[in-house]
Chains A and B, each alone.
Chain A
Amino acid sequence: MCMRIENHVIFNCDHTGISVEIIVDGKTVAAFEGEPILASLLAAGIKINRYTVKRQEPRGLFCGIGQCTDCAMIVDGKANVRTCITPVKAGMIIKTQKGLAKEE
Chain B
Amino acid sequence: MLQKDILVIGAGPAGLAASIEAGKSGAKVLLVDLNMQPGGQLFKQIHKFFGSSAHHSGMRGFQIGTQLLEEAREAHVEIWMQSTVIGIFPGKKIGIEREAADGSKELLTIQARKIILATGASENAIRFQGWTAPGVMGAGAAQTMINVNHVLPGKKVVMLGSGNVGLIVSYQLMQAGCDVAALIEAAPKIGGYAVHAAKIRRAGVPIYIKHTITKALLDTDGCLRGCIIAQVDEHFHPVPGTEKEIACDTITLAAGLRPVTDLAKLAGCRLTYNGAFGGWLPLHNKKMETSETGIFTAGDSTGVEEANTALEEGKLAGISAAEELGLLSCEIANTQREEIWARLHSLRLGPFGERRMLEKEHILAEYASKIGISVLSE
Return the CB mask of A46-83 against B: 1 if under 8 Å, else 0.
01110000000111111111110010000010000000
Secondary structure at chain B's binding surface: helix, strand, loop or mixed? loop
Separation of A35 and B144 alpha carbons in the complex (Å) = 12
Kindly report which residue of chain B lies nearest to residue A62, judged by CB atoms.
Answer: B137
Greatest chain A CB density within 10 A among B36, B149, B223 is at: B149
A85 in contact with B36 given A11-B147, A61-B145, A64-B141 (CB within 8 Å): yes
Q: Which residues of A contact B223 (CB under 8 A)?
A: 47-48, 58, 60
Q: Is the CB of A47 within 8 A of B145?
A: no
Of A61, A70, A89, most B-chain CB atoms within 10 Å: A61
B46 to chain A, nearest CB (A): 5
A39 to B62, CA, bound (A): 19
Which residues on A sit within 8 Å (CB–CB) of B141? Answer: 61-65, 84
Q: Which of chain A's residues has its CB closest to B47's CB?
A: A10
With A and B bound together, what is the CA distance between A11 and B147 in angstroms? 8
Interface residue A91 (Cβ < 8 Å from any Cβ of B): no
A3, B144: Cβ atoms under 8 Å? no
B266 at interface, CB cutoff 8 A: no
Q: Whole-angstrom distance between the alpha carbons of A86 and B82 in the complex?
A: 9
Contact B137 A61 (CB under 8 A): yes
Query: How many Å lie between the Cα of A61 and that of B138 in the bound state?
Result: 9
A28 CB, min distance to chain B CBs, angstroms: 18
Q: How far is the CB of A79 from chain B (nearest CB, A)?
A: 14
A16-50, CB < 8 A from B: 35-36, 38-39, 42-43, 47-49
| Chain A hits for B34, CB < 8 A | 66, 85
Kindly supply a per-residue 1/0 record for chain B positions 131-161, scoring 1 wherever the CB is within 8 Å of any chain A CB and 0 otherwise: 0111111101110111101111111000000
Q: What does the 1/0 interface line of B195-220 toward A look like (CB < 8 Å)?
A: 00000000000000000000000000
Contacts of B82 in A (CB 8 A): 85
CA distance A68 to B51 in the complex (A): 33
- Whether A42 touches B134, Cβ cut-off 8 Å, given contacts A64-B141, A85-B35, is no
Given A8-B175, A64-B145, A58–B152 Cβ distance below 8 Å?
no
Which residues of chain B are within 8 angstroms of A10 by Cβ–Cβ distance?
46, 60, 175
A88 to B110, CA, bound (A): 29
| A102 contacts partner chain B, Cβ-Cβ < 8 Å | no
Q: What is the interface residue range for chain A against chain B?
A: 35 or more
Cα–Cα, bound, A13→B175 (Å): 13
Query: Does A99 sit within 8 A of B, measured CB to CB?
Result: no
Contact B151 A64 (CB under 8 A): no
**Per-residue interface assignment for chain B, residues 149 to 185, with 1 indicating a CB less than 8 Å from any chain A CB and 0 otherwise:** 1111111000000000000000000011100000000
Among B46, B82, B103, B177, max chain A CB count under 10 A is at: B103
B-side contacts of A3, CB under 8 Å: 151-153, 155
The residues of B that contact A63 with a CB separation of less than 8 Å are 122-123, 137-138, 140-141
Does B331 touch A at the CB level, under 8 Å? no
Q: In angstroms, how far is the closest chain A Cβ from the Cβ of B267? A: 19
Q: Is the CB of B122 within 8 A of A87?
A: no
Chain B 64-100 against A: per-residue CB contact (8 Å), 1 yes, 0 no?
Answer: 0000000000000000001000000000000000000
B1-41 contacts to A, CB under 8 A, are 34-36
Chain B residues with CB below 8 A from A9, complex form = 175
B135 touches A60 (CB 8 A): yes
Q: Check if B378 is an interface residue, CB within 8 A of chain A.
A: no
Closest-CB distance, A95 to chain B (whole angstroms):
16
Q: Contact at B133–A58, with CB atoms within 8 Å? A: yes
A85–B33 Cα gap in the complex (Å)? 11
Q: Are B35 and A66 in contact (CB under 8 A)?
A: yes
CA distance A40 to B152 in the complex (A): 11
User: Which one of A35, A47, A57 contacts B149 once the chains associate, using CB atoms below 8 Å?
Assistant: A35
- Smallest distance from the beta carbon of B11 to chain A beta carbons, Å? 12
Measured between beta carbons, the chain A residues less than 8 angstroms from B234 are: none
The smallest C-beta distance from B252 to any residue of chain A, in angstroms, reads: 11
Chain A, residue nearest B224 (CB): A47
Known: A5-B152, A5-B176, A65-B122. 6 other contacts (CB 8 A): A3-B153, A4-B151, A39-B149, A42-B152, A58-B222, A60-B135
Residues in B lying within 8 Å of A, measured CB to CB: 34-36, 46, 60, 62, 82, 103, 122-123, 132-138, 140-142, 144-147, 149-155, 175-177, 221-223
The 5 closest A-B pairs by CB, nearest first: A60-B134, A64-B141, A39-B149, A58-B222, A47-B134
